Structure 1
Amino acid sequence: MSEETMAITLPTSPHGLAPDRYLDREISWLAFNRRVLEMAEDNSIPLLERVNYLSIFASNMDEFFMVRVAGLQRRLATGLAVRSPSGLSPKEVLSSISKDAHELQLRHAHLFLDVIEPELEQNGIHLVRWPELREDEKQHLKSYFEDHIFPVLTPLAVDPAHPFPYISGLSLNLAVVLKKAESPIEHFARVKVPPLLPRFVLIPSKEDTSEVRYVPLEDVIGEFISLLFPGMEVVQHHNFRVTRNEDLDVDEDEGENLLLALEKELLRRRFGPPVRLEIADDMNPQVLELLIRELDISKQDVYTLPSPLDLTGLQDIASLPRPELRNRPHQVLTNRYLHPRDDEELDIFAVLKKRE
């Protein structure tokens, strides 16, 4: 061995590094979901795969707000406004998230309405609105409403005897404005869209055709919503959706009480504070002000979007049996050296030794 001394270069002092050398975890996660959206925008990808990416993007955003945004808001509320390694405070991160998330959600909604939905129609998959339906289709949906939807609806009105109802997380709702025929006083009611029913209602076709037609479930409810309020006049109704804090805050070091702490935290999570309010872009400003006040949510956390809201339900459309509109299935092939002979069992180690 040479007696010469080897030169060793020591790393430079961290004090000389740029303060913004780290990416913020939450902001970088949004950049990841932006990439998911870009996959939906890629017209070289089969159509139903792009629809699936739209659904994944929406589901990812739900999870992001329920956990990541909720965690940041809780840190602010408890006074733990410590800067992250990226150098940003929770308030600065939330401001950046709000800016990016508003842009991404609008981009997501318009991609579906302006690009994906027309392409679906060209391929015989139609998402129609109520005025576009034929009379026989309207009659079928009226029967469907009476038999399947009406029995599971629970309208909740707001009046001096009934406070503003609890709005569960990720539920799609109709905000309904009512009044009596002889009175100018308007009342508010909330109708929850049943989550157990299909997000998009299939309209049966009398013709033997590969084309399918769907109508959003909330459109069907909205058309017959007056049946829920006999003796009242429905002035207007609007769609909205609430995302709540569902982040878990459990001290895992408390082994003896971990189960009890987890049970309490899961119960508390159901009633976590709202972190996002999605509203249809035709919502009356007075109704919006009521929701903001009663939900105790900031205007920064309100997302105004074109209908339909909650595009996680596109997963049902992405699952349609149209193989020509999705990627070819992956064919699993076994390496020829790993095929056992008829008269002997495969010895993987012998194959590895031989092929080395």
Structure 2
Amino acid sequence: MSDSDDSDGSRGDSPDLDDTRYYLNRELSHLEFQKRVLHEALDERTPLLERVRFLGLFTKNLDEFFMKRVGGLKQQIDAGVTDPTVDGRTPREQWREILDTTGPMFDRQTDCYREVIRPALAEAGVEIVDYDGLTAAERERMRAYFEESVLPTLTPLAFDPAHPFPFISNLSLSLGVFVRHDADEDPIFTRIKVPQNRPRLVPVEEGSRYVLLEDLIEAHLDLLMPNVEVLDTAPFRITRNAEVHRDGEVAEDLIEAIEEVIEQRRFATAVRLEIGADAPEAMIDLLRNQLDLDPEEVFRRAGPLDYRDFSTLVDLDRPDLKRERWSPLPHPRFAEGPNADVSLHGADLFDEIASDDVLLHHPYHSFDGTVQRFLDAAANDPDVLAIKAAIYRTASDSQVIQRLIDAADNGKQVAVMVELKARFDEQNNLQWVRKLEENGIHVAYGTVGLKTHTKTALVVREEDDGVKLYSHVATGNYHSETAKGYVDLGLLTADRDVGQDLVTVFNFFTGPSLDEEFRKLLVAPVTMRERFTDLVRREARYARAGRPARIVAKMNALEDPEMVKELYRASMAGVDIDLLVRDICRLRPGIEGVSDTVTVRSVVGRFLEHSRIYYFENGAGPDDPDDGGERRTPGSRPATDDGGDPQYFVGSADWMTRNLDYRVEAVAPVTDPDLREQLRFVLEVMLHDNRSGWEMNADGSYDQRTPGSDPVWGTQEILMAAARAAHECDDDRGIDTDHPASPGDLLVAGGADGTSDADATDDATD
């Protein structure tokens, strides 16, 4: 088969874009991202306690990967699915490659801890000691602590003819022990769960000397199981499948179905066993047989099996081992700041939004001082008639939910869409549904066949000239805690068309169907795929006509095969394409004749890049004769008479099949010239990043970009500096985005000390 339809931007002699060699595997591409996360723990430029934090993040991310992705593959294998993905791999082939890939990654994590981080911590005065390394006096204190505070919480569970094999919960750390009463009897296996409500790093000397809880338990088995001979011990940990489903996509009672899913996860099939490197084969065989695991699913690991609890160290008061704390700043347009009393003066906030759109950029801008303040004003302003919001994830102590309840108490119409199927947040969202309904608020919590992933809110307000609509369209959740560590964008606008589109979207949540006509928003699953496809094809037409043609797309993942094809066709037509993709990317850049004009970059830093920005040059790109052959800066030349304006979009959707076809998503155009300049500046800085940036090779591997003799450009440090500068001069641009002479200038403008980015990153935390 050959893609020869010129109307879609391809050429008559183009290669067969259905060929599997043009597509990277989704799962292996995601593991490449996790390698970049782990690299932050290995990078000497990263402050020591931040490196410890990245060890924990790597554990957390791989846990979720095995629960979701490996669990899903095992379900397909058990169901006999053999259909290959677009890259040509069957479920079984993917499963085997994942296990082959992750083993060395776990070894690298262990080596990083044992050979680099643990010695460096000791040198800095923070020791994690083996129990045998304690002094006699310390062992005496630890034995007393164990008897008083740990022993009462432990429950040894034996497996013998009188006792069934114990249930082992997902991701719980356990100690496996072989014991016997007499020398001539068979060993008995006993499982001891390491309690999660006791400190994992037990302080021998607070702040400077610790011993692991599992080591403390192992050293005192004589107190827990007296009068037996301990033959062997080994720590172990199992991971269970999270991809459990009830028959049918949505049950008649969705709440009942979600509660059932949560319960089923506790007993789901195991997909991985991690166990101490010195564990006896007999213990591994026993666990493998009881958990129905293949030999390939067993990972022998030296050292700690779980680094998530090492956050205890990250919280130490050791500023010399951390980056300087970053406190999100008020947006310059909301100069009163997050503590302002807006309950009586909400009209000022709405007047500000009505005068010009506002672009929020978290965590550079405070969530509390922007989004929360917007909802505060809406809840208390007597002229507000209604508030509608879509909640995918939110904090456990959410002030967003409280403001919606306050609004209802104040007599406003409130409607909330809470997505109960938000994975791993189902229980939290169930609790919020119940609280909202108890306060008389109408809650929608599910749509047949779709997840609601859009992050939007709408305020309806009565004003002198009629009813006005104020909209918030965002890339991130209404979650005050993740807003401190995730990079996200939000658009506040009084644009009537955007507001009317949101009215239509919210009506879908409670009504029978989703309208297929929208004025400005790109809405999945009805218009977004077609609109993005048209925008890519338009750039291809401009390129064939010899006009400027450029696409810059920042997203979390590029997985959808059809969008990859469209980008290949655009590249073959001559479109310059820069992709800023945080993790999964199926597209292979730099293939001769297919993707010569495509670069794929990824930025991994102190904050998680989570925002989505889509830029299309629209025949109005820059023309800089002094660019030295470098890729053009997006949108830095004004529109010409024979071309249109460059177009920018922000919103909740990645270019993944699930986002485009199986979720309710919203992406908004950004039309205000000043806001487009801000987005242009963000993209430019990211494309120049030579500190936290990585560039993909055609085989899917990545090379970290380095500055060499050039100035150091670190995206997040520069954007923090820009936020400081904007705050100090009370201007939402803050710096000259048209002519950023150098990253040093930006850092100085933002109040930094003018040191290199590598030095600057040693002074901040996620």
TM-score scaled by structure 1?
0.88
Matches within 5 A, 1:194-273: 194-204=195-205, 212-250=208-246, 253-254=249-250, 256-273=252-269
AA at the equivalent of 1:161: A
Give the structure 2 partner of residue 314 of structure 1: 310
Instruction: Tell me, yes or no, if structure 1 residue 176 matches structure 2 residue 172.
Output: no
Shift of 1:204: 2.9
Distance 2:732 2:218 in 1: 67
Are the aligned partners of 1:252 and 1:258 in contact in 2 as well (CA < 8 Å)? no
Distance 1:296 1:355 in 2: 58
Give the structure 1 partner of residue 72 of structure 2: 71
Are the aligned partners of 1:83 and 1:90 in contact in 2 as well (CA < 8 Å)? yes
Shift of 1:288: 1.3
AA at the equivalent of 1:69: V
Q: SS where residue 102 of structure 1 aligns? A: helix
- Cα distance 1:224–1:9, how it changes in 2: closer, same or farther (>3 A)? closer
Q: SS where residue 202 of structure 1 aligns? A: strand
Moved more, 219-228 or 345-354: 345-354
Please list the CA deviations of residues 131-163 of structure 1 after superposition, one character each: whole Å capped at 9, or x if unmatched: 110111111111111111111101011111112
Distance 2:24 2:329 in 1: 41
Are the aligned partners of 2:331 and 2:732 in contact in 1 as well (CA < 8 Å)? no
Give the structure 1 partner of residue 716 of structure 2: none
Distance 1:336 1:154 in 2: 56
Give the structure 2 partner of residue 167 of structure 1: 168
Distance 1:50 1:251 in 2: 43
Q: SS where residue 169 of structure 1 aligns? A: coil
AA at the equivalent of 2:67: M
- Cα distance 1:16–1:117, how it changes in 2: closer, same or farther (>3 A)? same
Matches within 5 A, 1:22-61: 22-61=23-62
Are the aligned partners of 2:277 and 2:300 in contact in 1 as well (CA < 8 Å)? yes
Moved more, 259-268 or 39-48: 259-268
Q: SS where residue 277 of structure 1 aligns? A: strand
Give the structure 2 partner of residue 154 of structure 1: 155
- Cα distance 1:23–1:139, how it changes in 2: closer, same or farther (>3 A)? same
Shift of 1:309: 1.4
Distance 1:99 1:253 in 2: 33
Distance 2:109 2:187 in 1: 35
Moved more, 273-282 or 160-169: 160-169
Give the structure 1 partner of residue 10 of structure 2: 11
Distance 1:242 1:119 in 2: 30
Instruction: Report which of the two has the higher share of helix.
Output: 1
Shift of 1:312: 1.3
Identity of aligned residues (%): 36
- Cα distance 1:159–1:336, how it changes in 2: closer, same or farther (>3 A)? closer
Distance 2:333 2:183 in 1: 85
TM-score scaled by structure 2?
0.42
Shift of 1:81: 2.7
AA at the equivalent of 1:294: Q
Distance 1:300 1:8 in 2: 49
Shift of 1:267: 1.4
Shift of 1:22: 2.0
Shift of 1:238: 1.1
Are the aligned partners of 1:125 and 1:213 in contact in 2 as well (CA < 8 Å)? yes
Are the aligned partners of 1:251 and 1:258 in contact in 2 as well (CA < 8 Å)? no
Give the structure 2 partner of residue 284 of structure 1: 280
Distance 1:255 1:116 in 2: 49
Are the aligned partners of 2:202 and 2:210 in contact in 1 as well (CA < 8 Å)? yes
Greater RCO structure (CA 8 Å; 6+ sep): 1
Please list the CA deviations of residues 15-63 of structure 1 after superposition, one character each: whole Å capped at 9, or x if unmatched: 7123222222211111111110011111011111111111100110111
Q: SS where residue 16 of structure 1 aligns? A: coil
Q: SS where residue 242 of structure 1 aligns? A: strand
Output the aligned Cα RMSD.
2.7
Give the structure 1 partner of residue 193 of structure 2: 192
AA at the equivalent of 1:262: I
- Cα distance 1:177–1:325, how it changes in 2: closer, same or farther (>3 A)? same
AA at the equivalent of 1:179: R
Are the aligned partners of 2:201 and 2:212 in contact in 1 as well (CA < 8 Å)? yes
